[in-house]
Structure 1
Amino acid sequence: MKKIIILLAFVFSLSSCHSQEKKAEKVIPKYKISKTDAQWKSELTPEQYDVLRKKGTEASFSGEYWNHFEKGYYACAACKNPLFTSDAKFNSECGWPSFDQAIKGSVIYKTDSTFGMQRTEVMCANCGGHLGHVFDDGPAETTGKRFCTNSVSILFIPKK
């Protein structure tokens, strides 16, 4: 009887360890740039940290780039990954920088059903930073998309 109990305890410990490993794999996203929470906090401003790492939103018409139309490109404020060109930017009058397309492969998408809404979250493909959301109410003459982006999540790089 003692041997059976020991054998059952051994089998149970193996199965519980194995299931814990699977859960950990699903929870930890893999990005080219991966840092601890403390590292992000030390490198980003409090506003950038709130938006990029905690999925916050800046107030409309408050960000640096909502009405900015200089030539160049916009990169992720956390990792400098190029995200949008100035040619893709348009005036949506929503109070946030809006683009009709992202640079190919620069962003990833995730279903966001917070606040009782069904939206598509846009994140930097390089570091997983939250940029904003994409909607289907952009310019019909181009892509029909509107990447509604937080100014604090991007950095403008002027054309040389």
Structure 2
Amino acid sequence: MTAYPDLFDAAGVAAVSQRIAALTPESRPLWGKMSVSEMLAHVNVAYEMVYTTKHPRPNPIMRWVLKRIVKQKVVGPAPYPHNTPTAPAFRISDARDFAVERDRLLGYLQQVMNEGRSTFEGHPSLSFGPLTAAEWNVLFAKHLDHHLQQFGV
């Protein structure tokens, strides 16, 4: 089991931000096919689902499947295996700007921390329904950790 940084806490955000700062436009993945810019855009999708209306809510049947089968893999403590299939909403198919995506991610991390644990307690996910703040933290931190490891930071 892996302990993930607390993204509602300044120390946790600082630790993750330091890892993000170690990325460069030339960073190459240790596995997978995404460029570093695509990876940052991919990670930003989780925050877009909270803070924008860009991504539609899955239909009721898909939500049932996601909640019953996928949720525990996403909010549970076990790390993601390498080359885990990506949900369609998280696939990045266009070119992205490294600095723009990095700065968006850092901004989202700051926003989550500033809003705090109480804002996320019981806040509904588009895919999984209401989550606890601890589940939100794992959702964000585990995904980010997986991809930062992918790029060796």
Question: Quick check: TM above 0.5?
Answer: no
TM-score of the superposition, structure 2-length normalised?
A: 0.26
Q: Which one has the bigger helix percentage?
A: 2
Q: Which one has the bigger strand percentage?
A: 1
TM-score of the superposition, structure 1-length normalised?
A: 0.26
| Rg larger for | 1
Instruction: Work out which structure has the larger RCO, using CA pairs closer than 8 Å and 6 or more positions apart in sequence.
Output: 2
